[in-house]
Structure 1
Amino acid sequence: MKTIFSSLFLAAGANAIITRWAPCCFHLSASGAVTGTVGQLDDGQNRVNGPLSPAEYCIADGAITDANGRGCILTPPTSQWQCDTGATPTSGFSVACDGTVAYNGGTTFYECQTGDNGEANIYLTPGGTNCGEITLKADGCGSCPPPPPPPPTTCPTNLNGNYEFPHLIIPIDSSNPNSAAGTSYFGEVSSTISSIFNFDIPASDSGKTCSLIFLFPLQSQLTTSSFTFSGNGAIDFSLLSGVATVSTSYANAPSVETDYGSITVAPGNSYNVATFACPAGEAVSFELKAVGDTCLNYFQDYNPSPIGVYITTC
């Protein structure tokens, strides 16, 4: 019987396994138009369904042989898949990590009815009678790589990696609502004063995760900053619907888009306020305001130990 020769199929990546050094052996099952195991007649015809026992096959370098050492080929002109004594096996087969069998990357095969005990021959193209599409799966040779680790749920609450510092700090005062205080180097919250922090997120952060963090070291850990602090320590953090400017006052400040809730802060701690997809290429504003009797005034500084509001990326 004439053998079809085809180019060696090299499967790329982890989706397919080509056993180059040693054969890998397996049984086959079909699903689709018919469902069942693949067996063999004595002459090497591979068939689905019927009373045939499951046949064993081995693959090496993209070519399949059966348990009797016969080469499995696609016979012309019908492309029936069978195994013949002395035949050079057709190359181009692969087994994916989930066991799916492919020929030159295609995973669609055909069963065509024989009229014998419900058995169907297997073809690459519908070359027989009453044909339907099937897929073939091997019960061995597939070994999927472990899934990648999930992305971090939060970025670091320190400045040891990539981070953004505020490019504008604007205090607003409810007791003087129409006054725009302009830019400040201090973060301040009290019964009447809250602070808005602007961040410019670079376009290079596209696809990354961002965390809004608040760093509050001990006074003794500060070298170029200081703070005054009293009250219950509760501070409410929120994302604003617009971006503050030097003309922003309490009266015209952007509204709250997302309220992250209040966190009770204390010196000697760091806090992850919120984690979100980085708004790459955009400017965003966050507001800190006191809850209860909290009063905090500090010099925003990234020198050791850093203090204040930052965005870390990961």
Structure 2
Amino acid sequence: MKYSLSLLALAATTNAAVLRRQNVPCTFSMAAVGDPTGSIVETTIGENRIGGSWPQGVYSIDAKVLTDAEGHNCSISPTTSQFQCIQGSAVTLFTLGNNGNLNYNNSTENWVACPATGPGEDGSYNIFTQAKSNTTGCETIQIVTGGFSCAALGRPSSSSTTSVATATSTSTSVPVAASTTSAAAVSCPTDITSGPFEYPHLIVPVSSESPDHPFGNQYTAHITPQNSTIFNFDVPSTAPYTGNCALLFLFPVASATQAGTYNFTGIEEETNENGGIDFSLLSGIANANTTYNTQPTVATDFGKVEVIPGKGYKVSTFACPAGKTVSYEAKSVGGLGLEYFENSAPSAIGLYMVPCA
């Protein structure tokens, strides 16, 4: 079976080829980190809240315009400073920080969460900017998104900084010993819908067919006999990432994802050739210039995972590498081929890190 990337197909004839990025609409869910912590939900009147009985919100961003699943513009109320998505509302420009946090006013990532009041109060929290006049009983939070890989917005420069001490851009890039924790000793989420999670801030394919060519930071992972992919995680230095963590690989059925999200040839390979995906922690930190020949060596091999569409997998549990950057690699075993667009929208696909209880 033959596997190819658009770049690798051109590698023999050009030295300046660039991996084609998939044109996949970028949708994602969001979660609050701080006190309170939890998924961002949306009420029927367009209020974005933390927790409660409302369904989890689904958002997209294009040219700094944030919209909800109904296509309503998200904005900051000029009178109440509340974060909402209401039909016909004026546009507020939002950006994603270097750590993937949702920012307003270009670089402000601190929000204010206040207990929701009124009829039907369900323990949820409304979200405001710091301009809210009365913040009694409110707490400061950040909003993390799964939209860091949004092609429409693009990743911010890795050299940019943020003003929050816990931002991942301040993490120390030091490899971490992977002391695997007994699964019986901790309780770990099996998906990313119920709480905070980390997604890759750098996705770098490397290829044995172009061993000296840096493919750069991509939106799509390529895991084939010729190509493997390295994922960097910038882990926060604060709770809940100070205990145990788990590395998850989520692989929904194709019909549950956006069109073009992934291409998979692996069932036959797994059955007949003992195939799958081998995940490992690397001994060093990859960057956008990492190539097949310069990639860090393997520090800890987590072993092969036989992936089947429609399932999620706990690759490993370990002490959280709090405040550090770590690199993991995914390699094809037995001829498996998988190319997918990392996306944390409902029916999330890809590699994620979650804190365990």
TM-score normalised per structure 2? 0.45
CA distance in 2, matches of 1:169, 1:195: 7
Does the alignment pair 1:249 with 2:282? no
Does the alignment pair 1:159 with 2:192? yes
CA distance in 2, matches of 1:158, 1:225: 22
Which residue is equivalent to 1:265?
A: 307
2:305 aligned counterpart, secondary structure: strand
C-alpha change, 1:299 and 1:308, in structure 2 (3 Å) is: same
CA distance in 1, matches of 2:259, 2:225: 27
Higher strand residue share: 1
1:220 aligned counterpart, secondary structure: helix
Q: Report the RMSD for the aligned CA atoms in angstroms.
A: 1.7
Which residue is equivalent to 1:195?
A: 229
Identity of aligned residues (%): 44
1:50-199 map, 5 Å: 152-160=185-193, 161-199=195-233
Q: In the alignment, residue 308 of structure 1 is paired with which amino acid? A: G
C-alpha change, 1:281 and 1:225, in structure 2 (3 Å) is: farther
Conserved in 2, the CA contact under 8 Å of 1:204 and 1:280?
yes
2:331 equivalent among 280, 289, 292: 289
1:204 aligned counterpart, secondary structure: coil
Structure 2 unaligned regions, length at least 5: 1-182, 271-275
1:208-287 map, 5 Å: 208-223=243-258, 226-231=261-266, 232-233=269-270, 234-287=276-329
CA distance in 1, matches of 2:225, 2:255: 27
C-alpha change, 1:282 and 1:224, in structure 2 (3 Å) is: farther
The offset of 1:178, in angstroms, is: 0.4
CA distance in 2, matches of 1:199, 1:221: 26
Conserved in 2, the CA contact under 8 Å of 1:154 and 1:211?
no
Number of residue pairs matched by the alignment:
165
Q: Greater relative contact order: 1 or 2 (C-alpha under 8 angstroms, separation 6 or more)? A: 2
The offset of 1:187, in angstroms, is: 1.3
CA distance in 2, matches of 1:225, 1:198: 24
Structure 1 unaligned regions, length at least 5: 1-149
CA distance in 2, matches of 1:217, 1:192: 24
1:203 aligned counterpart, secondary structure: coil
The offset of 1:262, in angstroms, is: 0.4
1:207 equivalent among 231, 236, 242: 242
CA distance in 2, matches of 1:200, 1:262: 24
The offset of 1:151, in angstroms, is: 8.2
Which residue is equivalent to 1:10?
A: none
Which residue is equivalent to 1:310?
A: 352
Conserved in 2, the CA contact under 8 Å of 1:224 and 1:301?
no
CA distance in 1, matches of 2:306, 2:184: 28
CA distance in 2, matches of 1:178, 1:255: 16
Q: In the alignment, residue 209 of structure 1 is paired with which amino acid? A: N
CA distance in 1, matches of 2:249, 2:334: 19
1:99-147 residue CA offsets vs partner (Å, 9 max, x unmatched): xxxxxxxxxxxxxxxxxxxxxxxxxxxxxxxxxxxxxxxxxxxxxxxxx
Conserved in 2, the CA contact under 8 Å of 1:227 and 1:299?
yes
The offset of 1:167, in angstroms, is: 0.1
Q: In the alignment, residue 214 of structure 2 is paired with which amino acid? A: A
1:12-37 residue CA offsets vs partner (Å, 9 max, x unmatched): xxxxxxxxxxxxxxxxxxxxxxxxxx
CA distance in 1, matches of 2:316, 2:284: 18
2:303 aligned counterpart, secondary structure: strand
Q: In the alignment, residue 241 of structure 1 is paired with which amino acid? A: S
Structure possessing the higher radius of gyration over alpha carbons: 1
TM-score normalised per structure 1? 0.51
CA distance in 1, matches of 2:313, 2:331: 16
Which residue is equivalent to 1:33?
A: none
